[in-house]
Structure 1
Amino acid sequence: MENKTFYQEILLDHNRNPAHKHPLPDADRELEGVNPSCGDDIVLQLKIENGMVADGAFHGNGCAISQASADMMLDLVIGKTKEEAGRLTGIFLKMIQGQAAPEELEELEEAVCLQDVAHMPARVKCAVLGWHTLEELLKTEEKG
Structure 2
Amino acid sequence: MQNNNLDALYRQVIMDHYKNPRNRGELLDDALTVNMNNPSCGDKIQLHLHVNDGVVNDAKFTGEGCSISLSSASMMTETVKGKTVDEALELSDIFSGMVQGEDYDDEKYELGDIEALQGVTKFPARIKCATLAWKAMEKGLDKE
Amino acid at match of 2:130: A
RMSD: 1.4
Matched residue, 1:57: 60
- Counterpart secondary structure, 1:101: coil
Amino acid at match of 1:19: R
Amino acid at match of 1:37: S
Written as runs of structure 1 = structure 2, the 5 A alignment for 1:1-144 is 1-103=4-106, 106-141=109-144
Amino acid at match of 1:92: F
TM-score (norm 2): 0.93
**2:122 and 2:53 mapped to 1: Cα distance?**
39
Long gaps (5+) in structure 2: none
Deviation at 1:106, TM superposition (A): 4.7
Percent identity between matched residues is 41
1:111-143 deviations in Å (ceiling 9; x for gaps): 0100010110121110010111111111113xx
Deviation at 1:104, TM superposition (A): 6.3
**2:37 and 2:108 mapped to 1: Cα distance?**
26
**2:51 and 2:110 mapped to 1: Cα distance?**
21
**1:111 and 1:13 mapped to 2: Cα distance?**
12
Aligned pairs, number: 141
- Answer whether contact 1:22 1:57 (CA < 8 A) is retained: yes
- Counterpart secondary structure, 2:143: coil
Amino acid at match of 1:125: K
- Answer whether contact 1:32 1:133 (CA < 8 A) is retained: yes
Long gaps (5+) in structure 1: none
**1:18 and 1:26 mapped to 2: Cα distance?**
22
